[in-house]
Structure 1
Amino acid sequence: MAGKEGFDLVVVANRLPVDFTVSDDGDVSWNRSPGGLVTALEPVMQAADGAWVGWSGAPDLEVEPLDADDMRLVPVTLSAEEIERYYEGFSNDTLWPLYHDVIAPPTYHRTWWDSYHRVNQRFADAAVEQAAHGATVWIHDYQLQLVPKMIREQRPDLRIGFFNHIPFPPLELFQQLPWRRRVIDGLLGADLVGFQRAGDAANFIRAVRRLRAYTTRGPMITVPDEDGRERHVRAAAFPISIDSRRFDELARQPEIQHRAREIRSDLGDPEIMMLGVDRLDYTKGIRHRIKAYGELLQDGRLDVEHATLVQVASPSRENVGAYQDLREHVEGAVGRINGEYAEIGHAAIHYLHHSYPPEEMAAMYLAADVMLVTSLRDGMNLVAKEYVAARSDDRGVLVLSEFTGAADEMAAGALLVNPHDIDGMKDMIVAAAHMDTREQRKRMRRLRRRVLADDVARWSESFLGVLTAMPSRVPRSTGPARSASSEERDT
């Protein structure tokens, strides 16, 4: 591990890639918490001698930095009040709904903003302390949008990247945020700002022009420094992916294939098994999906003797009121549909409010004839890619919302739907349920070629490659800067 000089690559994310537990006698232990981001960055960090800065996941837990899997893990301590205000409050009850097209109304509290600013500074300070001279710092997601500028103010020698894993909203929505300029300034502290979709990058650039009137040319933004020089900031799309080979290999294992057959048997061997896998979040369109499915049963276009829907809804942000309301609504709708249409041995909807390990998810994907991804707004939606990667048999149909980042990459093989159009979604679900085997294979092969080629390792290599190639600073231009139009000037 690095000595006094620090680390050549520092990742800054809201959470560490481990889960900490505290025993009754006060001893602290940890277990690795694998995820897509860890999978993407682990080999790069090991090669570059890297450190990961993040919250431990528990309130008021102070843990010294530790080494794990050739990475330095640097815990950031958050109080219970900061978790309530910075994380549950500003991050997930202000920014999350605002960045997801205001599907639920955002809440604006100055105390939440103060906590967000204070916690972002703590993350920035921790990153600065770990970074070697000239190191690369890669900051992740909407919880830490102020960190790039905070780091740059202390360490202009560092190369700084930021990746936003969720959508970036149109200017007309982003302008609602009382602290909009400070968020823009925070992000412009980076050399490279990455987004899931080209449209998100365009939204960000438009917000920069309107709120800061900086010169922009395509993806490049010219930002003045205080010392009379200028920097170039690039804003571009880098669609994230998954460890697709892992899901492909899991689905080929005999025990996983046996488990897939067992799942179908436990469901009563339906002719058509449909599957939804989501966090229990209002952005995922679970209510719209269940409504469409219930109407198909009511219309007689599907029946419980031949078809069933399995809905996995992982617990999410259960202390936020909008999520509590969503759970009540979804569980109530499931109960009504099952009460009206279920028969002995044939449930209409199997509702599972759990999280499952990758092995069980691979078996579910392999068992499902139709995968329903009906998000109202999603930065990417990796479940769609996991389903495709697991279909090593070239079977199955993906019904995919056009409002996901995945739709940009998977339109050639998926059946795209507008989840707000219930009648249109019903037609697509029926088309998926009755699609012939030859058409399934043609579509799934297209999808698998894309997903298996563009995996999460390629995503991290692409982002870091562009970041490394970014110029540091340029002399201040003598020509006139691009002026904002009347439409773009802030009022």
Structure 2
Amino acid sequence: MSRLVVVSNRVAPIDEGKQTAGGLAVAVLAALKKTGGIWFGWSGNVVEGESQDQPTLTEAGRLTYATLDLGRRDHDEYYNGFANQTLWPLFHFRLGLIAVSRRTRQGYERVNAWFADRLHPLLRPDDMIWVHDYHLIPFGEELRRKGCTQRMGFFLHTPFPPPELITALPNHADLIRELCAYDLVGFHTVTDLRGFLDYIRQETDGQVEQRGDEETATVRAFGRTLLAKVFPISIDTAQLESIARTSARSRQTERLRESLVGRRLIIGVDRLDYSKGLPQRFEAFEQLLLSYPEHCNRVTFLQVAPPSREDVPEYIAIRRELSELAGRINGRFAEFDWMPIRYLNRSFGQRTLAGFYRAANVGFVTPLRDGMNLVAKEYVACQDPDNPGVLVLSQFAGAARELEEALIVNPFDVEGVADALQRALTMPLPERKERHGALMRRLRNHDIGWWRESYVDALTRAPYD
């Protein structure tokens, strides 16, 4: 079996005792432990002066972690700049938030070339290379320029917009050409795949071949042949079920339950980001209290929103807006012994969140646009099957394509979302159990291991120029 080389913007903590944060880290570690290999990427450290010249190598069994510190300029132009002020809003359909700059685009290309130059000496001829996410789209082409002929796959963890939006980006053809340097390009949903294929059909001289399977296509473009395919990422379902059963009895979960004093709980957990629909979510909860006043002093909404990218102006603005919204809604409805919204700008570990999910009657997941949204799947997996809560889920989350038994809502329809919350809070137990059972069957059959094995298997069989 070929050795696997995983390339991602950030490398997960090396300390085996630490909880890995997300589905990507779980999948990557499991794949690397099976095949042996390298996990390569940014360390998360920003240093003054130039970026680190050579990677720091740390051995852990059959794994090698290869990490690099970024210099201040590279971080500002590659990460804060083009990746997160241009590509992130573009891929989340927010053209009005895109910052276009030749300087940051050049920084993005420069850092990708620098990453490729540092990885190249570590590669073996029979390695398989798996590159992750929008930060690293040019990475494969940079390796090709250095003569690398190894199999290379790319997976996009964000949505992929239609060509009408992609073409708003100057030099958009370069970005798609860079994607076509890979042998396999993976997407979360059929909609994302369709956006990519429509671009190939409409904006290039390339060809798309689909043989009755809307989830798979062979693409011939920019002088290359590649496979494009849907791989919806998932969670470690069995492990999370086990964690939730234990965490239901943890001290933190008991504290939460005691603080509610018998009230019902709605929970949202999101990174603080304008794509997550948090202002609309707060307004929908306010509308619930207005339209269904019987829930006043009987329901609490807990929103966990740890800050991210705190030096990007749009993130500073969303944090301020949410603080003001929470203050206004609490000021309007609060009683001396009840705060309607508990808004927390901090993170919690997986075990603590699992207990919180299990205690919550409603999971409130309403992004304006999201590649997948694993919180939706985590909430479902953590429920007590004998008395499960209800998931209220945005139609614009990739997870909505799989989790059809959730209450699917349009997050822009504030009154409609409030009605869905009312339905969730009043849904009878037999219906809740039926919906939860169907969701769990899907999550058990399509867990993170299925996602990982499906992708790696497809990469071994992809067209190989």
- TM-score w.r.t. length of structure 1: 0.88
- Alpha-carbon shift at residue 103 of structure 1 (Å): 6.4
- TM-score w.r.t. length of structure 2: 0.93
Is 1:44 aligned to residue 37 of structure 2? no
Structure 1 residues 452 and 258: alpha-carbon distance in aligned structure 2, compared to 1, 3 A threshold: farther
* Letter of the structure 1 residue corresponding to residue 97 of structure 2: P
RMSD value, Cα: 1.9
Q: Which residue does 1:55 correspond to in 2?
A: 42
- Alpha-carbon shift at residue 129 of structure 1 (Å): 2.1
Q: Which residue does 2:140 correspond to in 1?
A: 148
Residues 234-313 of structure 1 mapped to structure 2, 5 A cutoff = 234-253=227-246, 256=249, 259-270=252-263, 272-313=264-305
Structure 1 residues 104 and 290: alpha-carbon distance in aligned structure 2, compared to 1, 3 A threshold: farther
- Alpha-carbon shift at residue 338 of structure 1 (Å): 0.8
> Tell me, what secondary structure is at the counterpart of 1:169?
coil
Equivalent residue for 2:207, pick from 208, 215, 233: 215
**Contact map agreement 2:4 2:38 (CA 8 A) in 1:** yes
**Contact map agreement 2:304 2:344 (CA 8 A) in 1:** yes
Structure 1 residues 224 and 100: alpha-carbon distance in aligned structure 2, compared to 1, 3 A threshold: closer
Equivalent-residue separation in structure 2 for 1:170 and 1:468 (angstroms) = 28
- Alpha-carbon shift at residue 164 of structure 1 (Å): 0.1
Structure 1 residues 34 and 72: alpha-carbon distance in aligned structure 2, compared to 1, 3 A threshold: farther
Runs of 5+ consecutive residues of structure 1 not aligned to the other structure: 1-6, 21-29, 226-230, 474-491
* Letter of the structure 2 residue corresponding to residue 397 of structure 1: V
Residues 332-481 of structure 1 mapped to structure 2, 5 A cutoff = 332-394=324-386, 395-411=388-404, 413-473=405-465
> Tell me, what secondary structure is at the counterpart of 1:18?
coil
> Tell me, what secondary structure is at the counterpart of 1:253?
helix
Equivalent-residue separation in structure 2 for 1:357 and 1:165 (angstroms) = 22
Q: Which residue does 2:213 correspond to in 1?
A: none
**Contact map agreement 2:247 2:253 (CA 8 A) in 1:** no
**Contact map agreement 1:289 1:419 (CA 8 A) in 2:** yes
* Letter of the structure 2 residue corresponding to residue 70 of structure 1: R
Residues 7-156 of structure 1 mapped to structure 2, 5 A cutoff = 8-18=3-13, 33-60=20-47, 62=52, 64-102=56-94, 104-156=96-148
After TM superposition, the structure 1 stretch with the greater mean CA deviation from structure 2, 108-117 or 11-20, is: 11-20
Equivalent-residue separation in structure 2 for 1:129 and 1:208 (angstroms) = 33
* Letter of the structure 2 residue corresponding to residue 376 of structure 1: L
CA deviations 1:61-101 (Å, max 9, x no partner) are 74621113531111123111111111011111101111101
Runs of 5+ consecutive residues of structure 2 not aligned to the other structure: 211-216
- Alpha-carbon shift at residue 249 of structure 1 (Å): 0.3
Aligned length: 451
> Tell me, what secondary structure is at the counterpart of 1:52?
strand
Q: Which residue does 2:214 correspond to in 1?
A: none
CA deviations 1:463-483 (Å, max 9, x no partner) are 01011012323xxxxxxxxxx
- Alpha-carbon shift at residue 252 of structure 1 (Å): 1.6
- Alpha-carbon shift at residue 152 of structure 1 (Å): 2.0
**Contact map agreement 1:268 1:345 (CA 8 A) in 2:** no
CA deviations 1:133-160 (Å, max 9, x no partner) are 0210000000001111111222342000
Equivalent-residue separation in structure 2 for 1:254 and 1:131 (angstroms) = 42
CA deviations 1:329-388 (Å, max 9, x no partner) are 111000011111111221110111110001110011001000111110000000000001
Q: Which residue does 1:317 correspond to in 2?
A: 309
* Letter of the structure 1 residue corresponding to residue 170 of structure 2: P
Structure 1 residues 38 and 70: alpha-carbon distance in aligned structure 2, compared to 1, 3 A threshold: farther
Structure 1 residues 69 and 334: alpha-carbon distance in aligned structure 2, compared to 1, 3 A threshold: farther
